Structures are given as structure tokens and as C-alpha cells.
């Protein structure tokens, strides 16, 4: 059984040195509750460097993502201010290991309810070699969280359970999906996040952002790629990889 702090340090070092780490394997004896404690310790390294918590993300909320990653349980991770990329902004590939983009819907949480919604892009960057991990391993790695772009916040429309979602790279559509892929209706994401994170003693305070999980599989970011997410009725969010 490897010590929690050692695993957390190894994952933090992989992120800061942009060098993927091997999986910990079954000898590490990781289970899900332990993995969330490691995640907390991994994020504590970021907070110690001055980052601020700004919200939570869900992962593997769609069949497409579960199938892509071979893991079939909803997971959650922590977002910090340093992960925020302005809409239309750039990300430097040199600051990442092997980043991928996925189309999402973001919620602004106030008073325990969804106050606004926005189209979003999540940048995931597994700290494990080849983006391969077990369920506890990806949880320990803060569910691959690396960056996020949020488009313009919108008032909550009457229905967001079946909006078309496109992921475009350089103007070409590379993934097509629907918000229905996100737990059947992305609004469920709030209840799931409250339940899952609450079990870990973490709350969505006023002003928190919640990323509801990808609607389609993720696509690798290549140098110069211009990525745009279009969510029907909500608008767009974009970034450029340099």
C-alpha cells in the first residue's frame, strides 16, 4: 500500500513537470474513498501555490465518455481559478502532457440552484501515460481536470435536456452529440454533484461553477487547432491551442 501523500506528490509532479506518470497498479491498493482523499491532497498542492477553488466538475456522465475511457461510473473533481481559460483564449500545449477538449455545459450555482447556464469546453489532461487509468486512479488525478472555457452565461432556458452539441476543430465538425447524453438531462448534474461531493464533505457554494460532463468523446488538441463548441440555444465557447 503506497502512502497517500506520496501518490499525491507524484501526480502533482507529473502535472507541473508535464511528464506522464505510470499507473499505480493494484499494489497501491487504491479504492474509491482513498482516491478522493488523494484528489484532495493533489488539489491542496495547487491551493498551496495560491490557486483558489472555483467549483466542481463531473466526469463520465455520458455513455460516449464511459466507452472511450473504459470506466463506467460518474466521478467528480475540483476546479481552480488557474484552470480558467477566457472564452476565445489560448492554451499552450507545452504546458500540458497530452490535452484533449470536450464539449460541455456549465452551470453557475447560487443558493443551491442553477442560476445560469453556458456552453463550455473542458480541457482534460490525464497525468497517466497514454491516458490510461482505473476508476480510483482517475479520481486521484482530479478526474484529469486541467482547464475550462465558459461561453456567455445565459438565463436557464425552459428545457436543456435535448440541445444539439457540436465540437468543431478548425471549422470542421468532429463530434456531434446532445445534452441528453449528459445523465439524460444535464440538470441532473447538480443533484449528482451535490450528492457525490457532499459525501466527501465538499459543497457547491454561491458563485461556484459546475461542469456537467462531456456530451461526446474528447478530441486531442493539436498545435494551432482552433476548437469551438456550439450548444443549440446557448451559443459557443472557443479556444486556440498554441
Least Cβ distance, residue 230 to ligand OOG (angstroms): 17
Least Cβ distance, residue 188 to ligand OOG (angstroms): 14
209 φ, ψ (degrees, to nearest 5): -100, 140
For 53, the grid coordinates are 477553488
Least Cβ distance, residue 145 to ligand OOG (angstroms): 7
Least Cβ distance, residue 126 to ligand OOG (angstroms): 5
Least Cβ distance, residue 177 to ligand OOG (angstroms): 12
HSE toward the beta carbon, residue 81, CA cutoff 13 A: 7
Considering only residues 39 through 78, tell me which ones interact with ligand OOG, judged by CB under 6 A: 57, 59-61, 65, 69
The angle subtended at Cα 234 by Cα 232 and Cα 240, nearest 5°, is 95
Q: Site mask, ligand OOG, residues 113-152, x = CB under 6 A? A: ---------x-x-x-----------x----xx--------
Considering only residues 147 through 206, tell me which ones interact with ligand OOG, judged by CB under 6 A: none
Beta-sheet pairing, 226-231 with 164-169: antiparallel
Residue 59 or 136: the one with the smaller Cβ distance to ligand OOG is 59
173 φ, ψ (degrees, to nearest 5): -75, 120
What burial letters (b/e) apply to 4-28, b meaning 16+ CB within 10 Å?
A: beebbebbbebbeeeebbebbeeeb
Beta-sheet pairing, 100-110 with 219-220: antiparallel
Residue 126 or 236: the one with the smaller Cβ distance to ligand OOG is 126
**Can you give the binding site for ligand OOG, defined by CB under 6 A?**
57, 59-61, 65, 69, 102, 122, 124, 126, 138, 143-144, 213-214
Amino acid at each position: 500500500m503506497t502512502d497517500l501523500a506520496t501518490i499525491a506528490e507524484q501526480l502533482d509532479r507529473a502535472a507541473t513537470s508535464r511528464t506522464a506518470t505510470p499507473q499505480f497498479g493494484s499494489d497501491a491498493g487504491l479504492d474509491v474513498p482513498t482516491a478522493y482523499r488523494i484528489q484532495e491532497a493533489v488539489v491542496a498542492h495547487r491551493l498551496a501555490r495560491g490557486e483558489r477553488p472555483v467549483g466542481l466538475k463531473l466526469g463520465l456522465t455520458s455513455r460516449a465518455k464511459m466507452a472511450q475511457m473504459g470506466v463506467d461510473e460518474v466521478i467528480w473533481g475540483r476546479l481552480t481559478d488557474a484552470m480558467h481559460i477566457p472564452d476565445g483564449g489560448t492554451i499552450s500545449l507545452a504546458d500540458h502532457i497530452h490535452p484533449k477538449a470536450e464539449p460541455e455545459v456549465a452551470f453557475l450555482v447560487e443558493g443551491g440552484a442553477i442560476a445560469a447556464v453556458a456552453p463550455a469546453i473542458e480541457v482534460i489532461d490525464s497525468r497517466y501515460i497514454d491516458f490510461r487509468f482505473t476508476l480510483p486512479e482517475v479520481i486521484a488525478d482530479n478526474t484529469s481536470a486541467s482547464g475550462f472555457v465558459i461561453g456567455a452565461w445565459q438565463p436557464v432556458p425552459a428545457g436543456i435536456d435535448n440541445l444539439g452539441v457540436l465540437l468543431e476543430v478548425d471549422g470542421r465538425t468532429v463530434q456531434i452529440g446532445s445534452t441528453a447524453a449528459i445523465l439524460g438531462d444535464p440538470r441532473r448534474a447538480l443533484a449528482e454533484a451535490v450528492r457525490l461531493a457532499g459525501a466527501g464533505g465538499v459543497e457547491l457554494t454561491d458563485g461556484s461553477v459546475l461542469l456537467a460532463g462531456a456530451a461526446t468523446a474528447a478530441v486531442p488538441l493539436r498545435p494551432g487547432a482552433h476548437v469551438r463548441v456550439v450548444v443549440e440555444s446557448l451559443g459557443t465557447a472557443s479556444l486556440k491551442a498554441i
